[in-house]
């Protein structure tokens, strides 16, 4: 892995001579989507007629993303499995998720 460096959450940044494959790009986007879903808001939900239902659906998505990111499941396409395939430290993903949720809770209280 010469020429690779790790970024903040442990992603191995590929050197120019190591092209990313479509499969790796897919795994990166799955992980990115799960992280993104932690912040989904009711305004991004278009499948419900009322604001209350959109808020309920957004809460379900956020909870699902949180469970996905912290699961110890290592089956195919689990967060842990994807982290292993991308060279990401799964414990750092869990740690960053916890920090994010703590900060969001503090912002809501203020």
CA 93/CA 89 separation, integer angstroms = 7
The domain total for the chain is 1
Is residue 28 included in any domain, yes or no? Answer: yes
Is residue 29 included in any domain, yes or no? Answer: yes
Taken in order 100, 104, 106, 110, the sign of the CA dihedral is positive
Asked if residue 7 has pLDDT above 60, the reply is no
Scored b (16 or more CB within 10 A) or e, 31-50 reads beebbebbebebeebeeeee
Please name every residue paired with 3 in a beta bridge, in sequence order, or none if there are none. Answer: none
Q: Dump pLDDT digits (tens) for 18-38.
A: 568 999 999 999 999 998 999
Is residue 82 included in any domain, yes or no? Answer: yes
Is residue 9 included in any domain, yes or no? Answer: no
Q: Dump pLDDT digits (tens) for 39-68.
A: 888 888 887 789 899 999 999 999 999 999
Q: What percentage of the chain has pLDDT greater than the value 70?
A: 78
Is residue 6 included in any domain, yes or no? Answer: no
pLDDT of residue 44: 86
Is residue 98 included in any domain, yes or no? Answer: yes
Global pTM reads 0.74
Print the domain residue range for 41.
20-109
pLDDT of residue 82: 96
Is residue 10 included in any domain, yes or no? Answer: no
């Amino acid at each position: 892995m010469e020429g690779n460096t790790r970024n903040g959450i442990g992603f191995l940044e590929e050197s120019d001579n190591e092209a990313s494959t479509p499969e790796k790009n897919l795994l990166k986007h799955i992980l990115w989507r799960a992280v993104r879903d932690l912040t989904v808001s009711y305004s991004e939900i278009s499948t419900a007629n009322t604001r209350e239902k959109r808020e309920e659906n957004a809460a379900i998505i956020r909870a699902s993303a949180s469970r996905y990111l912290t699961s110890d499941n290592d089956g195919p396409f689990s967060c842990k499995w994807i982290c292993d395939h991308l060279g990401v430290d799964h414990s750092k993903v869990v740690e960053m998720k916890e920090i994010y949720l703590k900060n969001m809770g503090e912002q809501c209280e203020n």
